[in-house]
């Protein structure tokens, strides 16, 4: 695995398509060349290559974990009543709601994620963000912090999200003060993580909610299953269909350049490369995941799943 990651890193080092997100001004100040790949196993091993300890803001990757916490705290029926589980086929920041139900299409687009923040606020009040931070830190296996500059930058410029928040308030999807709810959402998006953190966070989901190295049970079983299902169908914005077809594992991307992928019961994969494509996904991250899935047979519906066997046999050999 170590060797495979090194080769993969080498193979895609020259891939420079895409550009830094600049609609949040502070994100445009990042180093576009950063590139890290990390893989954590459900058995607690970690493999990494490149800029794996470089910090970046988690952005939309946080939506998957916030959804998982909401499912646990509020119950799937209550969450489902307000947020759908259908791919939207629209951009992550689209101002659209499911015309049949008036709900946000799913929790992985901004409208759904802001509704999640609203529901957490209803349940937890001022503890909503500290709870999210604590859970996501436990999933990463280390205390995470907020990038104050990115948080401020998005707060100052996030008028589109503010508009979405007011529409949600108007139709009763959220009931608390819009600014307070957006503050939770902007903070959760500004948490600093590394590719290694994403790999562990993915491995925690892969390991049905238990962090494979710390042993902490971070998320509840049923919530993990539901979260992975939505990551599988909606995690990559309007590239989710292409991703399910080509890569075939639950995943979530963010405009900060991170992607987390989950090979159920086996692996968490984290990539970081901040040049993003027109749909908001890390361009280099997509290539890396495609190759990893092909080389190791990670696709959920890979008939022999030989690659996965290969991974576990490699690990066994290494331990022997």
Q: Give, in order, the Cα–Cα distances in Å from 287 to each of 3, 119, 270, 283.
A: 18, 35, 13, 7
Q: Give, in order, the Cα–Cα distances in Å from 160 to each of 93, 118, 236.
A: 8, 17, 20
Q: Which of 48, 115, 161, 233 binds ligand GLN (CB under 6 A)?
A: 161
Given the residues 230, 237, 252, 263, select the one marked as catalytic: 237
Our finding on whether 258 is near ligand GLN (CB under 6 A) is no
Our finding on whether 235 is near ligand GLN (CB under 6 A) is no
Which pair of structure tokens corresponds to residue 119?
Answer: 């529901």
Residue with tokens 């495979």: 4
Task: For residue 255, indicate whether it is catalytic.
Answer: yes
CB-based burial label for 256 (10 Å; 0-12, 13-18, 19+) = buried
Our finding on whether 139 is near ligand GLN (CB under 6 A) is no
Are 267 and 278 in contact by the 8 Å Cβ rule? The answer is no
Number of residues that bind ligand GLN (CB under 6 A): 11
Are 185 and 117 in contact by the 8 Å Cβ rule? The answer is yes
What span, in angstroms and rounded, lies between the C-alpha atoms of 260 and 59?
12
186-205 positions binding ligand GLN, by CB under 6 A: 189
To ligand GLN, the closest distance from the beta carbon of 183 in angstroms equals 12
Our finding on whether 60 is near ligand GLN (CB under 6 A) is yes
Our finding on whether 26 is near ligand GLN (CB under 6 A) is no
Our finding on whether 92 is near ligand GLN (CB under 6 A) is yes
Q: Which of 41, 48, 49, 59 binds ligand GLN (CB under 6 A)?
A: 59
Report the interface residues with ligand GLN, using CB under 6 A.
59-60, 92-93, 110, 154, 161, 189, 254-255, 280
The set of catalytic residues is 60, 63, 185, 237, 255
């Amino acid at each position: 695995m170590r060797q495979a990651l090194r080769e993969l890193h080498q193979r895609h080092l020259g891939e420079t398509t895409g550009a830094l997100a600049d609609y949040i001004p502070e994100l445009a100040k990042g180093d576009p060349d950063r590139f890290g790949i990390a893989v954590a196993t459900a058995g607690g091993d970690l493999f990494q290559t490149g800029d794996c300890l470089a910090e970046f803001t988690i952005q939309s990757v946080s939506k998957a974990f916030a959804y998982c916490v909401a499912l646990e705290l509020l119950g799937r029926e209550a969450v489902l009543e307000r947020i759908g589980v259908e791919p939207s086929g629209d951009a992550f920041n689209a101002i659209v709601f499911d015309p049949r139900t008036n709900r946000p299409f799913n929790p992985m687009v901004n409208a759904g994620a802001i509704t999640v923040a609203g529901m957490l606020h209803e349940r937890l009040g001022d503890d909503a963000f500290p709870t999210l931070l604590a859970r996501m830190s436990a999933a990463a296996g280390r205390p995470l912090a907020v990038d104050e500059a990115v948080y401020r930058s998005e707060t100052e410029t996030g008028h589109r999200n503010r508009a979405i928040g007011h529409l949600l308030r108007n139709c009763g999807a959220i009931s608390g003060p819009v600014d307070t709810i957006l503050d939770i959402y902007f903070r959760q998006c500004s948490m600093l993580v590394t590719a290694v953190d994403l790999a562990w966070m993915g491995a925690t989901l892969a390991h049905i909610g238990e962090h494979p190295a710390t042993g902490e049970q971070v998320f509840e079983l049923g919530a993990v299953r539901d979260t992975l299902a939505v990551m599988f169908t909606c995690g990559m914005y309007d590239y989710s269909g292409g991703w399910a077809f080509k890569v075939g594992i639950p995943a979530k991307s963010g405009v900060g350049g991170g992607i987390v992928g989950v090979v159920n019961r086996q692996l968490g994969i984290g990539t970081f490369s901040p040049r993003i494509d027109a749909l908001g996904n890390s361009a280099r991250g997509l290539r890396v995941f495609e190759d990893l899935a092909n080389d190791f047979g990670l696709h959920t519906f890979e008939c022999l799943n030989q690659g996965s066997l290969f991974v576990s046999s490699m690990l066994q050999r290494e331990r022997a």
